[in-house]
Structure 1
Amino acid sequence: MNSAVKSDGVEAERAHKRACDLLANATMSELQQAWAAHEPKPDVTPLRGPETGLVMVRGRIGGGGDPFNLGEITVSRASVRLDCGSVGHGQTLGTSREKSRLAAIFDALWQRPDLQEEIERKLLLPVAERLAAEDRKKAEETAATRVDFFTMVRGED
């Protein structure tokens, strides 16, 4: 296999993972506004769900040690097919089935080369900017409470 083709496939996979991550972190309001603004609306056929269930979250002792079950979280998921044949999947934390359905629709729309730039610009970029702003705010709040410790050395030792 040509390494350029392999590299393009890896890059496309990373881009799709990024899009799915942003869709999972989008608020219901962001998804609803993007859907209301999207024209023309495609015909959407549900393939799975939307449905809600539990997922076991695992942790590792010390970040890299033995795994253990941390607990269960509620997750909603949906899979849809658009009239153009594009299939999308949405997975979100919580019980909002509509949110997972909208995420699946936007995943399917994003996979269309003719709509990818529009979905990036109108939905994914604002979500990424909001998440970055939230991270900056959290970092600033944490930095405000930071204490620098240092060791004083006595000259007699």
Structure 2
Amino acid sequence: MTQPHASPETCRRNAMSVLAHTPTERISACLEALDVPSHEIARQPEDGLVMVRGRIGGDGAPFNLGEASVSRAAVRLASGELGFGYVLGRDGEKARLIALCDALIQNSGFKADVEQKIIAPLRRELEDARLRQTAETAATRVDFYTLVRGEG
């Protein structure tokens, strides 16, 4: 849930987290509920690689774990806001939709609508899915215990 007095950066970060974990089709469907203003693609969606770094034990020396595919895009609203979208994997359309949402969040006229009609419902869906997964996992839990056989 977005905090009432959270900084704009925190709001954007939280929204981007929700969008990054949401399937492309759901973002697109939620965006249909908005009257999206005129915008242009500032950076066409493109795929690339990033180096993933890790640490042993969380505090050891960093090492290069490997490369991961990413997609990125940038969208500029007619009012000037510039949004960026980065996503793991090769999904340029998802990166473009995230960039559009990022730009809309920065526009004071659309920020509340984006939070109410896109981010909040998607956040609820992600939380519901997490709770279902937790319940399914708990249902298959096996508790092991040892019986001690007495002497005699």
TM-score, length-scaled by structure 1: 0.79
2:125 corresponds to which of 123, 130, 133: 130
Match of 2:31 in 1: 35
Give the number of the structure whose residues are more often helix, by fraction. 1
TM-score, length-scaled by structure 2: 0.81
Amino acid at match of 2:55: R
Amino acid at match of 1:75: V
1:22 corresponds to which of 18, 22, 26: 18
Amino acid at match of 1:53: G
Q: CA deviation at 1:148?
A: 5.0
Asked if the contact 1:74–1:95 (Cα under 8 Å) also holds between the matched residues in 2, the reply is yes
Aligned length: 148
**CA distance in structure 1 between the partners assigned to 2:104 and 2:73 by the alignment:** 14
**CA distance in structure 1 between the partners assigned to 2:131 and 2:63 by the alignment:** 31
SS of the equivalent of 1:114 reads coil
Match of 2:94 in 1: 99
Amino acid at match of 2:12: H
Match of 1:108 in 2: 103
Question: Which ranges of structure 2 fall in alignment gaps of 5 or more residues?
Answer: none
Percent identity over the alignment is 43
1:39-118 correspondence runs (5 A): 39=35, 41-118=36-113
The 1:58/1:147 distance shift into structure 2, 3 A limit, reads farther
Asked if the contact 1:89–1:108 (Cα under 8 Å) also holds between the matched residues in 2, the reply is yes
Q: CA deviation at 1:11?
A: 2.4
Asked if the contact 1:23–1:90 (Cα under 8 Å) also holds between the matched residues in 2, the reply is no
Amino acid at match of 1:20: M
Identify which range, 64-73 or 17-26, moves more after superposition: 64-73
Amino acid at match of 1:28: T
**CA distance in structure 1 between the partners assigned to 2:62 and 2:135 by the alignment:** 32
Asked if the contact 2:81–2:104 (Cα under 8 Å) also holds between the matched residues in 1, the reply is yes
The 1:141/1:68 distance shift into structure 2, 3 A limit, reads farther
SS of the equivalent of 1:71 reads strand
Amino acid at match of 1:135: R
